[in-house]
Structure 1
Amino acid sequence: MFKIFLLFFMFTRVLEIFCYYQNGDLRFVAVLYRHGDRAPTKIYPKDPYNDVSYYWPDGLGELTNLGIQHQYELGQWFTNRYATFLPEKFSTADIYVRSSDRDRTLMSAAANLAGLYPAKGAQVWDKQLLWRPIPIHTVPNEEDEVVAMKKDCPRYNLLYDQLLNSRTFQLVNLRNKPLYDYLTKNTGWNITELRQIETLYSLLSIEKQYNLTLPAWAEGIFPKKLEFLAALSHASFSFTKPLARLKNGPFFDYVFSHFDKVTSNATVLKFLMISAHDNTIVNLLSAMGVYDYTFPNFASTIIWELSQKDERFYVNLFYKNTATVSELKLMGCEMNCEYETFKTILEPVTVKVEEWNKDCII
């Protein structure tokens, strides 16, 4: 009897998460996803698969066919989830798409949109190709403080260096020195810090995904031991409130500016799509206090849904890291969190670009 009750509860909870907006109160959706599957960005000197032209013919760091497929499927998933909210035909009045200035994120956005908006009716220009071009906006990464989060911020750099030199992170390196030495011996990299562990973990994960047999030295340390250290490396970029504010502040202000236009009836835009990276995912989850130190999969997605009931607006937050979607709750905010409350909770890590530029000065 208890098992039946539990299954019924889980089923009704899933229905609540997926269908609560079907009564027409959903007003705006913002999504940020990691690009699709890519080739490794770096190959260690002793890697048995270091023939890049053979194993990764499209180049290091580039989107693979599997990555294109996964993003296309994510676009179809958006279509199904928002079937009663987004019109079937593409319109610039409904959706705005922004990407970091990297091949893999720009291509991921294009593949996703092909799944979200297959050409129909008058939008078909070639019956053999049910696709139409959709604008994707970007700015150079070195000028982008919102999506790529790569624009130089001297104060952030100073605070981050202080964090890495803090007793906490020095102890992490000290306690893992035997592991670092072991990896240095077997990879040919001089491994001395967490960021290198992150790169190695990502590389091994990709090789395993593509059915390449991992070397014997990786047994016992991959994936579990390396995954936690890689996740800690990810989390370090927004490890403190000051770091989180300078890293994520312009992004939250950007998203909230779209929400504010909806709540004031200043826009009819329905959907904001952002194509980004694993670091972006972790930075935002960490800043919101909901990161569980799990490495983001390719095409993992954060979803913010703004809905209205009567005169009140509220936000629901979701995370899709596998085939399933989980509800995330900010501290002090349950499901259907009042929008102003949601903003207030994130106010310490939200900042306008003009103010951010001033705060970055040392």
Structure 2
Amino acid sequence: MAAGSEASSVRFWDLLLVLAVLGLVWAAEGRRLHFVNLVYRHGDRSPIHTFKTDPYKPKDWPQGFGQLTQVGMRQHYELGQFLRERYKDFLNSSYDRQELLLYPLKNCPRFEQLQNETKNCWEYKKTMQDNQDFLKTLAKNTGTPFANMSLFDLWMIYDALFCEQVHNFTLPSWATPEQMEHLRQLKEFGIISEFGLYQTKQKSQLQGGVLLKQILENVTRSINETNSTPHLKMIMYSAHDTTIIALQMALGIYSLAPTYAACHIFELYQETNGSYTMEMYYRNESNSKPYLLTLPSCTEKCPLHKFIEIAAEVIPKNWAKECELHRSTIQIELLLGLVVGSCLLLVFIVLCVKLQCQDKDETLGYQKLASHCEESEKMPPV
């Protein structure tokens, strides 16, 4: 009897163990990947622009300026292999080719105004002032007029030198490792000042928030079309470094400029209880695994409703309208313009009248005196 009870007890605990293991398996299988939206940067390319004194011209590159190189093609291939392996149990073999995404978005006067205002903030002025000597030397070495030197010129110069360095071109003697690092840091500052540094939230609403809005719409669409055939599983956006920068600035997670073939991944999971969570991963090196990104004020597995709530702060409600200059700003500028213009016109009229009167007085002064004398002579003696 005791032996039978002991055997029954063992079988009972074995059964509990089996059920526990099965429970873990069911729980693991219960959480499943539902949808993926990713944005990746193009691979290695030749320079888009260059500087005046650069000895290397479009003819020195196999496909000219701004074209994908063999290195870039390999980076794209490696990215494709990584994505195929990561989602081998999630995707089929077909895909839809989507348009390129180029940032910053154009035709947005308000964003251009914010960029101009950024140049007046203390940090921007101090950075440019602290680097005056470096910028003057750089302008001389590259044949760029110092008066016209902008942060875009810095980016263009660094980009050209970086591309040439990667492809084993001989760099100018002045482009030492120290100078290249200094230039890279200023280029990085230029990126930050374009999408942040000043009024970051407003800039994000007009730039990165636009793409973020589209991504969240894709997520919502994937949930609403769960029972549709075929089920929407993945959307891929081929883009540029500035696209990823604008997106990460809007998310509040930007750290460093994306490398070639960098990839920002949004993964939507459906949990065992039916709710949805969002995870983000970033692959910024071709030969490295992606690392987890956490949205500020949320957890690694961010509940979708919380993710959308946080993102709402930088998502435009009406981009075209928000891109317009504020009416009050336009009215003030118009009023100041009218006042200044009216004052100048008034001063001009007063001067013209005064000059005309002076000429008239000089001309008529003798005539009046002569006439008076003549009239006096004509008067009979008393």
TM-score by length of 1: 0.75
SS in 1 for 2:62: coil
SS in 2 for 1:161: helix
2:308 matched to 1:343?
A: yes
Aligned counterparts, 1:20-169, within 5 A: 25-48=32-55, 50-53=56-59, 55-87=60-92, 89-90=93-94, 95-100=95-100, 148-169=103-124
Contact 2:225 2:232 in 1 (8 A): no
Contact 2:251 2:295 in 1 (8 A): yes
The one of 207, 224, 235 equivalent to 1:272 is 235
**What is the alpha-carbon distance in structure 1 between the residues aligned to residue 171 and residue 277 of structure 2?**
47
Contact 1:234 1:283 in 2 (8 A): no
Contact 2:141 2:174 in 1 (8 A): yes
Contact 1:263 1:313 in 2 (8 A): no
2:294 matched to 1:321?
A: no
Deviation at 1:194, TM superposition (A): 2.0
The number of residues matched between the two structures is 288
Note closer, same or farther for the CA distance 1:176–1:83 as it changes in structure 2 (3 Å cut): same
**What is the alpha-carbon distance in structure 1 between the residues aligned to residue 62 and residue 257 of structure 2?**
26
Q: Which has the larger radius of gyration?
A: 2
2:250 matched to 1:295?
A: no
Which amino acid in 2 is paired with 1:348? E
Contact 2:39 2:238 in 1 (8 A): yes
**What is the alpha-carbon distance in structure 2 between the residues aligned to residue 289 and residue 85 of structure 1?**
29
Contact 2:103 2:207 in 1 (8 A): no
**What is the alpha-carbon distance in structure 2 between the residues aligned to residue 200 and residue 81 of structure 1?**
37
Contact 2:209 2:250 in 1 (8 A): no
The one of 123, 138, 162 equivalent to 1:205 is 162
Note closer, same or farther for the CA distance 1:24–1:316 as it changes in structure 2 (3 Å cut): same
State the Cα RMSD in Å. Answer: 2.0
Note closer, same or farther for the CA distance 1:228–1:312 as it changes in structure 2 (3 Å cut): same
Contact 1:197 1:229 in 2 (8 A): yes
Deviation at 1:338, TM superposition (A): 0.6
How far does the alpha carbon of each residue in 1:114-173 deviate from its partner, in whole angstroms, 9 at most, with x for none? xxxxxxxxxxxxxxxxxxxxxxxxxxxxxxxx7544331111111111112323212211
SS in 1 for 2:152: helix
SS in 2 for 1:218: coil
Which residue of the partner structure matches residue 153 of structure 2? Answer: 196
Deviation at 1:359, TM superposition (A): 1.0
Deviation at 1:212, TM superposition (A): 1.5
Contact 2:45 2:68 in 1 (8 A): yes
2:290 matched to 1:283?
A: no
Q: Specify every segment of 5 or more residues in structure 2 that has no aligned partner in the other structure, as ranges.
A: 1-26, 326-382
How far does the alpha carbon of each residue in 1:70-92 deviate from its partner, in whole angstroms, 9 at most, with x for none? 112211111001111112x21xx
Deviation at 1:351, TM superposition (A): 2.1
The one of 291, 298, 302 equivalent to 1:333 is 298
Note closer, same or farther for the CA distance 1:147–1:40 as it changes in structure 2 (3 Å cut): closer
Which residue of the partner structure matches residue 110 of structure 1? Answer: none
Note closer, same or farther for the CA distance 1:96–1:314 as it changes in structure 2 (3 Å cut): farther
SS in 2 for 1:75: helix
**What is the alpha-carbon distance in structure 2 between the residues aligned to residue 306 and residue 21 of structure 1?**
15
Calculate percent identity across the aligned residue pairs.
Answer: 31
Note closer, same or farther for the CA distance 1:65–1:42 as it changes in structure 2 (3 Å cut): same
Which amino acid in 2 is paired with 1:65? Q
Note closer, same or farther for the CA distance 1:21–1:288 as it changes in structure 2 (3 Å cut): farther
Deviation at 1:295, TM superposition (A): 2.5
Which residue of the partner structure matches residue 216 of structure 2? Answer: 256
SS in 1 for 2:98: strand
